[in-house]
């Protein structure tokens, strides 16, 4: 029995399917079908709640070994998507947490089992403190998909669907970052700095990876919730007692988990029976759009929304168009597979795509790279794999921004682009290029490994691209 209600809400957001009934005096009962993002998915439930009989309450007990206690059993049973709507409790005295045992365990398991997709909630600490960045612990893992929250289309004044004092508007627009959603960048410390030093001013990697609606999400209400339940006092009860509203990155993450299930299904229908987590991540990020642009117009990512809000239709369209490739998939060899970078027989150790046609007129090209990086004590990148696009003598590099590049005439934009790419290249195992009005008739994508701290690692990768005509102004 789910006396907390949190798990029931999360599960139904993934694969729930039911009827919401509104009783109206004039029209009688009006019914609305409510579904999760993947209503036909198969679900396995794991609980982190432990009942304390002495105090008659439930307490969350996080497993000491995530790989052995949380990931291995569902993986052995054939499950390949792992949703995690939990995280460490925020402590204002400690502040933002860095790369710890939990993140290390996630990175190690995904690197060793490259077809499991692990999703982590970013956390709900954006409004509780004066720290500019809050994402930490498990959510900073390199190889997971960290999910933040935006508002929703449901009108919300900060009091209507959740009681929060002195917070105000939670985020009433679907493209607006929810005020509670934890921000990045991650806390990055040098291996030469004492781990006890919490103040090392080194900026970390881009997190969250993506965002999805997390304000006033309607999902199933646990029937074990009592009238005195804390959840009924802090979450809004709907007009149908079988459904309840809740807000948080715990609510955003399962919506994305369901979208991931749809992506895997589309890939399998297209001939990729065992897609890697990196491929799913690349497709998801390439379809996402960043609306906050807090680092400036055109950068394409920031530390509020990461690489943007999920657009599952755009991601699936790339699968239908066969606009993706992965290297080093140990489970299959299809037309969409090439060797990992360390096995490509060239001195440069790089993969180069065929020439890809560019539509006539105004256009926008978006390309994303993701790769499973080996676990490391301090969370530093072990493989430095970079993304490039070339067309008609011009080029773009990963995470440079969509309005700047090596051929740009503005010295200021060139310097900003060089900084963004150079810094991100040694920090992030996800890179994205947005290029408006590609100059040539064709373009080619290049993935190259520049440094490899783990010489025996094959350096697997995945890349997705999408080029579309832009409407005339």
Beta bridge partners of 50: 59
With a CB cutoff of 8 Å and minimum separation 6, the contacts of 440 are 358, 391, 392, 393, 394
| Ranges of H-type helices in 235-360 | 249-269, 277-287, 312-320
Tell me how far apart the alpha carbons of residues 436 and 469 are, in angstroms, rounded to a whole number.
10
Q: Residue range 104-127: average pLDDT?
A: 96
- Token pair of 426, please? 């040694």
Q: Are 251 and 10 in contact (CB under 8 A)?
A: yes
Tell me how far apart the alpha carbons of residues 135 and 208 are, in angstroms, rounded to a whole number.
8
Identify the pLDDT of residue 112: 97
- Distances in Å between the Cα of 376 and the Cα atoms of 43, 141, 353 are 31, 10, 31
Q: What predicted TM-score, i.e. pTM, was given to this entire model?
A: 0.90
Identify the pLDDT of residue 404: 47
With a CB cutoff of 8 Å and minimum separation 6, the contacts of 153 are 174, 213
Identify the pLDDT of residue 26: 76
The end-to-end CA distance of the chain, in Å, is 57
Centre a 10 Å sphere on the Cβ of residue 5 and count the other Cβ atoms it contains.
Answer: 22
pLDDT tens-digit series, residues 145-160:
999 999 887 755 444 5
- Token pair of 221, please? 């209400």
Strands 337-338 and 324-327, how do they pair?
Answer: parallel
Centre a 10 Å sphere on the Cβ of residue 323 and count the other Cβ atoms it contains.
Answer: 19
Identify the pLDDT of residue 123: 96
Identify the pLDDT of residue 408: 38
In which element (H, E) is residue 118 found? strand 117-121
pLDDT tens-digit series, residues 427-451:
899 999 999 999 999 999 999 998 7
- The alpha-carbon radius of gyration of the chain (Å, integer) is 22
Tell me how far apart the alpha carbons of residues 88 and 90 are, in angstroms, rounded to a whole number.
6
Mean pLDDT, the chain, whole residue set: 85
More confident residue, 163 or 453: 453
Identify the pLDDT of residue 427: 87
Centre a 10 Å sphere on the Cβ of residue 136 and count the other Cβ atoms it contains.
Answer: 29
In which element (H, E) is residue 233 found? helix 230-234
Among the listed residues 217, 4, 248, 208, the one whose alpha carbon sits nearest the alpha carbon of residue 127: 248
With a CB cutoff of 8 Å and minimum separation 6, the contacts of 419 are none
Looking at the chain, how many residues does it have? Answer: 473
pLDDT tens-digit series, residues 272-328:
999 999 999 999 999 999 988 666 666 789 999 999 999 999 999 999 999 999 999
Residue 78 burial by CB count (10 A; 0-12/13-18/19+): exposed, middle or buried?
A: exposed
Among the listed residues 331, 336, 403, 326, the one whose alpha carbon sits nearest the alpha carbon of residue 369: 326
17: left (phi over 0), alpha (psi -120 to 50) or beta: beta
Identify the pLDDT of residue 231: 63
Q: Is residue 201 predicted with pLDDT exceeding 80? A: no
């Amino acid at each position: 029995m789910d006396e907390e209600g949190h798990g029931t809400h999360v599960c139904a957001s993934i694969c729930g399917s039911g009827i919401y009934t509104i009783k109206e005096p004039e029209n009688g009962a009006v019914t609305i079908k409510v579904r999760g993002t993947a209503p036909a998915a198969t679900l396995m439930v794991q609980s982190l709640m432990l009942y304390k009989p002495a105090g008659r309450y439930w307490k969350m007990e996080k497993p000491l070994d995530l790989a052995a206690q949380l990931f291995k059993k569902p993986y052995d049973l054939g499950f390949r998507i792992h949703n995690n709507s939990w995280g460490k409790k925020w402590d204002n005295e400690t502040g933002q947490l860095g790369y710890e045992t939990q993140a290390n365990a996630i990175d190690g398991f995904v690197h060793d089992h490259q077809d499991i997709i692990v999703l982590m909630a970013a956390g709900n600490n954006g409004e509780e403190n004066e720290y500019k960045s809050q994402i930490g612990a498990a959510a900073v893992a390199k190889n997971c998909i960290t999910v933040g929250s935006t508002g929703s289309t449901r009108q919300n004044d900060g009091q209507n669907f959740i009681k929060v004092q002195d917070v105000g508007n939670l985020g009433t627009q679907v493209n607006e970052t929810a005020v509670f959603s934890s921000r990045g960048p991650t806390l990055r410390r040098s291996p030469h700095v004492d781990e006890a030093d919490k103040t090392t001013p080194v900026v970390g990697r881009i997190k969250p990876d993506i965002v999805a609606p997390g304000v006033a999400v309607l999902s199933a209400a646990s029937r074990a919730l009592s009238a005195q339940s804390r959840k009924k006092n802090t979450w809004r009860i709907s007009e149908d007692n079988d459904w309840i509203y809740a807000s948080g990155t715990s609510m955003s993450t399962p919506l994305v988990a369901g979208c991931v299930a749809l992506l895997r299904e589309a890939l399998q229908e297209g001939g990729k029976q065992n897609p890697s987590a990196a491929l799913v991540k690349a497709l998801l990020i390439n379809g996402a759009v960043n609306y906050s642009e807090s680092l400036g117009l055109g950068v394409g990512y920031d530390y509020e929304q990461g690489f943007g809000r999920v657009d599952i239709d755009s991601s699936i369209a790339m699968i239908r168009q066969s606009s993706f490739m992965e290297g080093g998939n140990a489970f299959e060899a299809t037309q969409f597979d090439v060797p990992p970078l360390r096995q490509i027989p060239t001195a440069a150790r790089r993969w180069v795509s065929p020439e890809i046609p560019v539509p006539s007129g105004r256009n926008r090209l978006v390309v994303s790279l993701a790769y499973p990086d080996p676990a490391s004590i301090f969370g530093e990148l072990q493989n430095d794999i970079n993304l490039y696009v070339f067309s008609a003598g011009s080029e773009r590099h990963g995470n440079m921004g969509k309005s700047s590049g090596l051929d740009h005439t503005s010295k200021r934009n060139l310097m900003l682009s060089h900084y963004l790419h150079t810094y991100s290249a040694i920090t992030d195992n996800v890179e994205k290029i947005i290029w408006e009005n590609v100059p040539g008739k064709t373009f080619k994508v290049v993935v190259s490994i520049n440094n490899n701290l783990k010489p025996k690692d094959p350096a697997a990768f995945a890349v997705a691209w999408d080029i579309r005509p832009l409407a005339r102004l």
